[in-house]
């Protein structure tokens, strides 16, 4: 295992700082809170933390609109608190990577304030500014945006700045102006910011939304016959497969000229070269699923997420097999080969427990999904709270929504599309990412032990913290999901083949279950995940890597007494996750 880098063997855990642990009792998470929970994480058995943005921000996009790249948001603490957090994590042998948002800053960042102030200030070319002609309007001439591009969060991608009589471009909210990455001064400033944290000892970065950094410089308009709000609405109403297919095409076509513009490979190479100047194998993981951003396998990003694995309504054996085949083939094809990276959830998506549940077997499925991410080949990323089975909490009062893309959508539904406010509120609540960002549930106390009882937390705590979905109760219960994760993480850590082994799919036409081997130079492990209620009777004795080798059970979600099983007549229970070492003589 020694040949692998730490980020290949590590299990990452994403901390969403606003919702993780609130030490000072103001209803918002903070660094002192995180520090208090580091023992919890080390006991859970994760090796690395990805921290969502902790920088000063007006919070139009929950921290992804940064107004100072080299500081700490006051609500999270001070730079000293950050340093203590990093030291304490490192003391526990946990690595820490930060979120680096390159595409845009906050519109309150001093760079932008200066840039928008005039056409000839020193930072006038730091953002994407465009002229637009005067057009005849009602009675007098008006300006219209340079083209019909949409922001994926709030309608028009162009916002007019009277100071310059020009428009600036924003792929996300208008409070998140896109930086002009063609300007070398922008690069230099951002690389300096990246170095600031690397100098402090952080182990790398998760790169936010890299696909949005460069857009089509010809500003080719999209041809979709709707705007963002209409497309969102049409997506909700699409019923037939043909309608859904069309909508998917519309989403792709609406944004295709705004994504993946030329230049990103060189940019990633530049950033990678900076990380490589540092010791300790600093790493980069991109928020993108395009394997090409790994360059030759060792000169751009170290990892990109396997988002196609999670982009499905249900995790089925067939879906996983196809996904693995495609991903692993592409990774193998890179000149220096790439390493996979699997995840099923993060702060932008519905929680796995809710999203992939079937409302009947959610608890069983959650266990299977955990076993899947922790046994497939690649670096796993877990999202805080999934280890206790936190679920989505849909906020139906638009006033309480904090995700501004959802409040924007609510307003437009009501005002432009005349949707009834109750329905609009429900739709906004469903699409909002608030539902999967509610505070971590530590205990069954009021406010889930996140904040003192009398405090109003920044997002409501999910009431199901009172029904067993909390760390304290699950810690005491040997059969809890939390202890299941712990056990699984321990087994993974102690089983080299699960970390470094090749993935070999077995029984590849089975609809109900997924079976595969992980094979390393001196260990072969069989994984079976039964996604059905059926009891299975399986035979692996004809598999060449198994043959007559007895199976030594390393882990099972079922209650098993025997420790050794024959590969023939192998019974697997309903929804069982089964991991065994093949004893080859």
287 binds ligand GLC (CB under 6 A): yes
Place of tokens 């360059």: 295
* Binders in 343-362 for ligand GLC, by CB under 6 A: 347-348
The separation between CA 444 and the C-alpha centre of its own chain, rounded to angstroms, equals: 27
**Tokens standing for residue 421:** 């406010």
Nearer to ligand GLC, 352 or 495 (CB): 352
Candidate residues 46, 179, 209, 515; the one interacting with ligand GLC per rule CB under 6 A:
209
DSSP string, 313-344: SS--HHHHHHHHHHHHHHHHHSTT----EEES
**Tokens standing for residue 238:** 């699409």
| Strand, coil or helix: 288 | coil
Nearer to ligand GLC, 61 or 473 (CB): 61
Task: Count the alpha carbons within 13 Å of 381 in the hemisphere toward its beta carbon.
Answer: 29
- Active-site residue 227, yes or no? no
* Binders in 392-431 for ligand GLC, by CB under 6 A: none
| Strand, coil or helix: 236 | helix
208 binds ligand GLC (CB under 6 A): yes
Minimum distance from CB of 320 to ligand GLC (Å)? 24
Which residue in 75, 287, 386, 403 is the catalytic one? Answer: 287
Minimum distance from CB of 505 to ligand GLC (Å)? 31
Identify whether the C-beta of residue 578 lies closer than 8 Å to the C-beta of residue 528: yes
Place of tokens 């999209």: 222
Minimum distance from CB of 351 to ligand GLC (Å)? 15
Minimum distance from CB of 370 to ligand GLC (Å)? 22
Nearer to ligand GLC, 293 or 484 (CB): 293
101 binds ligand GLC (CB under 6 A): yes
Candidate residues 12, 31, 64, 410; the one interacting with ligand GLC per rule CB under 6 A:
64
* Binders in 18-47 for ligand GLC, by CB under 6 A: none
Minimum distance from CB of 417 to ligand GLC (Å)? 23
Identify whether the C-beta of residue 498 lies closer than 8 Å to the C-beta of residue 4: no
Give the separation between CA 265 and CA 294, rounded to whole angstroms. 9
Candidate residues 61, 154, 215, 392; the one interacting with ligand GLC per rule CB under 6 A:
61
* Binders in 450-509 for ligand GLC, by CB under 6 A: none
- Helix and strand element counts for the chain (H, E): 18, 23
CA nearest to 58, candidates 116, 127, 110, 109: 109
Nearest to ligand GLC by Cβ — which residue? 64
172 binds ligand GLC (CB under 6 A): yes
- Active-site residue 154, yes or no? no
Minimum distance from CB of 20 to ligand GLC (Å)? 16
**H-run or E-run covering 474:** helix 471-476
Place of tokens 């396997």: 306
Identify whether the C-beta of residue 565 lies closer than 8 Å to the C-beta of residue 581: no
- Residues of this chain that bind ligand GLC (CB under 6 A): 61, 64, 101, 172, 208-209, 287, 347-348
* Active site residue ranges: 208, 287
């Amino acid at each position: 295992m020694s040949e692998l880098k730490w980020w290949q063997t590590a299990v990452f855990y994403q901390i969403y700082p606003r919702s993780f642990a609130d030490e000072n009792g103001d209803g918002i998470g903070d660094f002192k809170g995180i520090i208090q929970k580091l023992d919890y994480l080390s006991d859970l058995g994760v090796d690395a933390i990805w921290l969502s943005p902790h920088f000063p921000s007006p919070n139009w996009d929950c921290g992804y609109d940064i107004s100072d790249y080299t500081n700490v948001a006051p609500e999270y603490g001070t730079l000293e608190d950050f340093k203590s957090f990093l030291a304490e994590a490192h003391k526990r042998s946990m690595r820490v990577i930060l979120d680096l948002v390159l595409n845009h800053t906050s519109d309150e960042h001093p760079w932008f304030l200066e840039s928008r102030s005039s056409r000839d200030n020193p930072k006038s070319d730091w953002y994407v500014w465009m002229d637009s002609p005067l057009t005849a309007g009602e009675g007098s001439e008006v300006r219209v945006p340079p083209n019909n591009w949409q922001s994926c969060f709030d309608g028009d991608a162009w916002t007019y700045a009277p100071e310059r009589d020009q428009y600036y471009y924003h792929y996300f909210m208008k409070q998140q102006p896109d930086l002009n990455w063609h300007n070398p001064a922008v690069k230099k400033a951002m690389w300096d910011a990246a170095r600031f944290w690397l100098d402090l000892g952080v182990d790398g970065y998760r790169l936010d939304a890299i696909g949005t950094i460069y857009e089509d410089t010809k500003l080719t308009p999209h041809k979709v016959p709707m705007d963002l709000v209409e497309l969102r609405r049409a997506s909700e109403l699409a019923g037939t497969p043909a309608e859904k297919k069309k909508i998917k095409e519309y989403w792709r076509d609406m944004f295709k000229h705004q994504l993946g513009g030329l230049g990103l490979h060189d940019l990633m190479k530049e950033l990678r070269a900076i990380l490589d100047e540092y010791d300790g194998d600093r790493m980069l993981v991109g928020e993108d699923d395009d394997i090409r951003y790994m360059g030759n396998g060792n000169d751009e990003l170290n990892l990109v997420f396997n988002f196609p694995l999670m982009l499905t309504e249900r995790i089925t054996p067939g879906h996983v097999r196809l996904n693995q085949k495609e991903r692993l083939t592409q990774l193998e094809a890179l000149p220096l080969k790439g390493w996979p990276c699997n995840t099923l959830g993060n702060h932008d998506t519905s929680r796995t427990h809710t999203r992939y549940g079937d409302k009947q077997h959610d608890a069983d499925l959650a266990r299977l999904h955990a076993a899947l991410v922790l046994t497939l080949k690649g670096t796993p990323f877990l999202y805080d709270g999934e280890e206790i089975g936190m679920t989505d909490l849909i906020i139906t009062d638009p006033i309480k929504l904090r995700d501004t893309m959802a409040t924007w959508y609510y307003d437009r539904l009501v005002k432009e599309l005349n949707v009834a406010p109750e329905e609009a509120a429900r739709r906004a609540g469903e699409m909002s990412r608030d539902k999967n960002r509610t505070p971590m549930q530590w205990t069954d106390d009021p406010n889930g032990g996140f904040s003192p009882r009398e405090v109003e937390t920044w997002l409501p705590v999910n009431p199901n913290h009172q029904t067993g979905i909390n760390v304290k109760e699950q810690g005491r219960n040997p059969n809890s999901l939390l202890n299941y994760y712990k056990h699984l993480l321990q087994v993974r850590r102690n089983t080299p083949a699960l970390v470094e082994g090749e993935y070999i799919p077995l029984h590849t036409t089975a609809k109900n279950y997924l079976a595969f081997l992980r094979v390393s130079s001196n260990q072969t492990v069989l994984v079976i995940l039964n996604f059905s209620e059926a009891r299975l009777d399986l035979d692996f004795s004809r598999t060449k890597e198994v043959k007559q080798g007895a199976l030594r059970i390393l882990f099972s979600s079922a209650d098993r007494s025997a420790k050794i099983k024959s590969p023939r007549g192998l019974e697997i229970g309903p929804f069982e996750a089964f991991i065994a070492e093949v004893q080859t003589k």
